[in-house]
Amino acid sequence: MDMDNIECVSVSDLDEDEIHHHQQQHPHQHHGLHPHPHHHSDFSSSKPRNGNSVNGVNIVGPTAITPATSVHELLECPVCTNSMYPPIHQCHNGHTLCSTCKTRVHNRCPTCRQELGDIRCLALEKVAESLELPCKYYSLGCPEIFPYYSKLKHESICNFRPYNCPYAGSECSVVGDIPFLVAHLRDDHKVDMHTGCTFNHRYVKSNPREVENATWMLTVFHCFGQYFCLHFEAFQLGMAPVYMAFLRFMGDENEARNYSYSLEVGANGRKLIWEGTPRSIRDSHRKVRDSHDGLIIQRNMALFFSGGDRKELKLRVTGRIWKEQQNPDAGVCIPNLCS
C-alpha cells in the first residue's frame, strides 16, 4: 500500500460541497470494515460504529481505509512485517514503523530516509483499539477472536500454536502439529518408533569416564492413541557426571497430566525407580533436563549397575506408561494399564 496517498481530513475543515465532491471522486471507498472469519491470516475486522470515524475524526476520500486487509497492512511494520503495537512511530512524512525497529534503523525512516524523531502515530493506535481480529492460528483450528491489543498475548499461549521439534540431538527449528512432527522424527531424524506402553532398553558406552553434554537416544512410543518421547543422556551436574532418563508427552500440558510413567534401572540386587508425570513438549528438552524431572543416575552407581571391571557402561532401563482414569463412584484415579 502506498502510504503517501493517505490523508486525514476532519469534517470541521470541509463544507458540505467539499464533502460531496470527495464522495463523488471516490464513491467506491465508502464501505464499512468487514471481518474475514474464514481467512487464516491476521486480517482485521472492526466493531460496528457509525461511519468511518475515529474519535470524532471522519476519514473521507482517499483516506477511507475500508477493506479489512488495508487496515491490516497499515498496522504492519514495513521493516519486520509484524503487527505494530504502541508506541507506533512515524516520520514527518507519515511513514510508520514499530518501536522495536525504530532502534534498528538508526533513527532514519526506512521508506523516505528522513529523520524519525519522536513522533507517535496516535491516530493509527486509536484505529488498532477499535479492531477485533481472529487468532493467527485460525487455520490450525483456533476459533477465537480478540481485540487487537489482546491478540498477541493469546497467541503466545494458544493451544493451537505449532509445536517445536522435540529432537534434542541438534538445534532443529522445524515446527508443526503432532502428526507432522512424528513423520519428521521418523523420516528426518531416523528416530526409533515403537508401539506399546512398556519398554526395555540397554544403553552401552565404552568409556564412561568421558562424560560430556550429549543426548544418547530418543525413542518415540505410540500408545493410548498418543505419542511419547523417551530421552536418555549423559551430562555434567555441577562437577559430577550423571545419566538421566525422562519422558515427554507430544501434546499440551493439560493432556500430559492424564498419563503417568515409571522408569527402573538396577543390577546386583539393587535398583532405582522413578515414577512421575510426563512433561509436555511445550517445555523444551533443556528445561526438563535442568529441572531434574526424571530418573537421575550418578556415574558411580551407574558403573556399579554395569558390573564387571567398571570400564564399560551397561545400563538396562525398563519402564511403562499408563493412563490415569477417573473413577466416577469413588472420585479417585485408577491406572489403566496397557496390555
**Digit-coded pLDDT (tens) for 199-246:** 998 887 776 666 555 556 789 999 999 999 999 888 888 777 888 999
pTM for the model stands at 0.64
Please state which of the four CATH numbers 3.50.50.60, 2.60.210.10, 3.40.50.1820, 3.10.620.30 is assigned to the domain occupying 163-323.
2.60.210.10
- The three-state secondary structure class of 117 is coil
- Distance between CA 183 and CA 179 in Å, rounded? 6
Q: pLDDT value at position 335?
A: 57
Residues of the chain with confidence (pLDDT) below 70: 1-69, 169-170, 207-216, 308-310, 326-339
Tens-digit pLDDT profile for residues 34-46: 333 333 334 333 3
CA–CA distance, 16 with 24 (Å, rounded to integer) = 12
Q: How far apart are CA 58 and CA 46, in angstroms?
A: 16
Q: Where are the domain boundaries for CATH 3.30.40.10 in the chain?
A: 71-156
Rounded to 10°, the helix 148-157/122-129 angle is: 70
What is the signed CA dihedral for 290, 229, 336, 294, rounded to 10 degrees?
A: -20
All cell numbers assigned to 285: 528438552
At 116 the three-state DSSP class reads coil
Q: Coil, strand, or helix at residue 276? A: strand
Rounded Cα gap, residues 16 and 55, in angstroms: 20
Q: List every span in the chain annotated with CATH 2.60.210.10.
A: 163-323
Nearest to 229 by CA among 215, 214, 241, 208: 215
| Domain 71-156: CATH class, spelled out | alpha beta
